[in-house]
């Protein structure tokens, strides 16, 4: 009789605890905001709507993903706690220490899942302008990464447009001069041979100093723009898909003992690609992009200044011409450009991979920690 009473008391305790978790989960889902920028405070939302109007729709979509999927993860934790309580009650009823120890271990695992999700939500709340960030403003890495990536794309496209316009004008001049030169040399060679030879030299210098380098640099910029767009859509994909595609299934799989390792891997993927990767992208662009943007903007301004009208040909005939110097400045800025496009993304993905593997081993191996805790208790 005493054992049955203890089992009923334990079951009631687990149910009360599960009810508390469920109530907190229901209350933790905020109401749909009215400022049009999801979870951000109204003053920060108003600032973003004026300075970066593209961001609020993205943030609202991220909020919608939260609102639809986080309750599922919390319900999975509640289910795990309930299952652990039922197993513990069965162990008491059958007077089996093995079943009771297994139930205690499952309770530890459910509590670990709750801590992981709670920590994930807390970090995300700080990122998106809630919690402590209300007093200091949002520190959202998605906003920083998206803003700087799109700004870099715009500056690179502006530089490419400037080079393209001058290159088209110079190529057109070269074609006309060759056509006139051939006619002059064919019909009046004794009068205009010197003019024809001078034009040939000018065409050679124009092609060597500007046209060919500009074409090569334009090709590199196009390849870099493809890399920038890939980074943008990679971050945007995980900002929307990390919670429903990785976090929620990971929490659900972690409830069951046979699929616990898979659940730990999915949770690690969600945390790595939702928090670590965009934060590192934001840091890389924050420390590198301002200098790069100023270099690209200055080069584009110089190209537009010296390449207008007939200056496109006259200012590109020697190694010290203004257009050639502006083009050299653009080539110098490509070092930082390729750091952002190629080196930093490769480094960030490598660090994210290492983080995910280590965290997956830790989360997936939490059952060993649970066994140690049970042995200590």
One domain for residues 188 and 100 = no
CA-wise closest residue to 88 among 67, 105, 69, 70: 105
Q: How confident is the model at residue 31 (pLDDT cuts 50, 70, 90)?
A: very low
Query: In whole numbers, what is the pLDDT of the chain averaged over residues?
Result: 75
Collapse the DSSP code of 39 into the 3-class scheme (helix H, G, I; strand E, B; otherwise coil) and give the result: coil
pLDDT, tens digit (0-9, with 9 covering 90-100), for 139-186: 678 877 888 888 889 999 999 998 888 887 777 767 665 554 554 445
Domain boundary among 136, 153, 183: 136
CA-wise closest residue to 14 among 100, 85, 99, 76: 85
What would the two tokens of residue 346 be? Answer: 């490769």
Residue 247 pLDDT > 70: yes
Q: How many whole angstroms separate alpha carbon 185 and alpha carbon 192? A: 7
| pTM recorded for the entire structure | 0.70
State which residues form the domain around 221. 141-376
CA-wise closest residue to 338 among 264, 237, 228: 228
One domain for residues 299 and 366 = yes
Contact 56, 145 (CB under 8 A): no
One domain for residues 41 and 102 = yes
If you average pLDDT over each of 58-72, 263-277, 286-300, which comes out highest? Answer: 263-277
Query: Of 49-58, 65-74, 256-265, which range is least confident?
Result: 49-58
One domain for residues 196 and 238 = yes
What would the two tokens of residue 317 be? Answer: 């005939």
Position 355 scores a pLDDT of: 92
The whole-number average pLDDT for the span 356-361 is 89
**Angle formed by the axes of helices 277-306 and 344-364, nearest 10°:** 170
One domain for residues 175 and 34 = no
Q: How many whole angstroms separate alpha carbon 65 and alpha carbon 142? A: 15
One domain for residues 162 and 267 = yes
One domain for residues 213 and 231 = yes
Residue 238 pLDDT > 70: yes
The whole-number average pLDDT for the span 181-192 is 47
What would the two tokens of residue 176 be? Answer: 């006309």
Position 55 scores a pLDDT of: 66
Q: How confident is the model at residue 272 (pLDDT cuts 50, 70, 90)?
A: very high
Half-sphere CA count of 123, side-chain side, radius 13 A: 13
Q: How many whole angstroms separate alpha carbon 183 and alpha carbon 196? A: 10
What would the two tokens of residue 174 be? Answer: 């070269």
Q: How confident is the model at residue 192 (pLDDT cuts 50, 70, 90)?
A: very low
Conformation bin of residue 31: beta by default, left when phi > 0, alpha when psi is -120 to 50:
beta
Domain boundary among 94, 109, 136: 136
Q: How confident is the model at residue 294 (pLDDT cuts 50, 70, 90)?
A: confident
Please state, for a pLDDT cut of 90, what percent of the chain lies above it.
9
Q: DSSP assignment, residue 140?
A: -
One domain for residues 182 and 164 = yes
Position 51 scores a pLDDT of: 67
One domain for residues 92 and 179 = no
Position 25 scores a pLDDT of: 44
- CA–CA distance from 65 to each of 72, 262, 358 (Å)? 11, 22, 27
CA-wise closest residue to 221 among 141, 303, 286: 303
Residue 19 pLDDT > 70: no
One domain for residues 208 and 332 = yes
Place of tokens 């537009």: 304
One domain for residues 156 and 67 = no
Contact 139, 282 (CB under 8 A): no
Q: How confident is the model at residue 211 (pLDDT cuts 50, 70, 90)?
A: confident
**Number of domains composing the chain:** 2
Top pLDDT among 365 and 250 is at 250
What would the two tokens of residue 149 be? Answer: 């990536």
Residue 10 pLDDT > 80: no
Q: How many whole angstroms separate alpha carbon 276 and alpha carbon 354? A: 11
pLDDT, tens digit (0-9, with 9 covering 90-100), for 44-59: 677 767 766 766 776 6
Domain boundary among 105, 136, 167: 136
One domain for residues 114 and 181 = no
Place of tokens 């900002």: 239
């Amino acid at each position: 009789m005493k054992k049955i009473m203890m089992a009923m008391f334990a079951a009631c305790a687990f149910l009360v605890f599960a009810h508390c978790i469920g109530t907190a989960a229901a209350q933790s889902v905020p109401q749909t905001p009215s400022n049009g920028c999801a979870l951000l405070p109204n003053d920060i939302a108003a600032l973003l709507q004026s300075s970066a109007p593209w961001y609020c729709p993205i943030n609202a979509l991220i909020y919608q993903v939260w609102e639809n999927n986080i309750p599922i993860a919390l319900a999975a934790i509640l289910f795990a706690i309930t299952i652990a309580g039922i197993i513990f009650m069965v162990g008491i009823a059958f007077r089996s220490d093995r079943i009771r120890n297994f139930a205690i271990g499952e309770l530890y695992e459910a509590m670990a899942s709750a801590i992981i999700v709670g920590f994930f939500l807390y970090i995300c709340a700080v990122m998106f302008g809630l919690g402590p960030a209300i007093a200091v403003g949002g520190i959202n890495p998605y906003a920083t990464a998206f803003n700087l990536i799109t700004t870099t794309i715009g500056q690179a496209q502006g530089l490419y447009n400037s080079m393209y316009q001058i290159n088209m004008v110079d190529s057109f001049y070269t074609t006309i001069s060759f056509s006139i030169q051939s006619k002059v040399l064919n019909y009046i060679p004794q009068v205009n041979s010197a003019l024809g030879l001078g034009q040939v030299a000018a065409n050679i210098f124009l092609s060597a100093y500007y046209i060919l380098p500009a074409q090569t640099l334009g090709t590199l910029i196009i390849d870099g723009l493809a890399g920038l767009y890939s980074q943008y859509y990679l971050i945007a994909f995980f900002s929307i898909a990390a919670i429903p595609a990785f976090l929620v299934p990971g929490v659900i799989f972690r409830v069951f003992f046979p699929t616990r390792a898979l659940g730990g891997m999915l949770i690690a993927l969600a945390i790595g690609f939702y928090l670590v990767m965009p934060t590192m992208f934001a840091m890389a662009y924050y420390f590198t992009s301002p200098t790069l943007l100023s270099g690209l903007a200055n080069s584009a301004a110089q190209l537009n200044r010296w390449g207008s009208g007939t200056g496109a040909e006259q200012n590109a005939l020697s190694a010290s011409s203004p257009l050639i110097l502006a083009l050299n400045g653009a080539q110098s800025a490509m070092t930082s450009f390729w750091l952002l496009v190629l080196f930093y993304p490769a480094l960030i993905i490598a660090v994210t991979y290492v983080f995910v593997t280590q965290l997956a081993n830790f989360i997936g191996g939490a059952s060993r920690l649970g066994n140690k805790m049970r042995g200590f208790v």
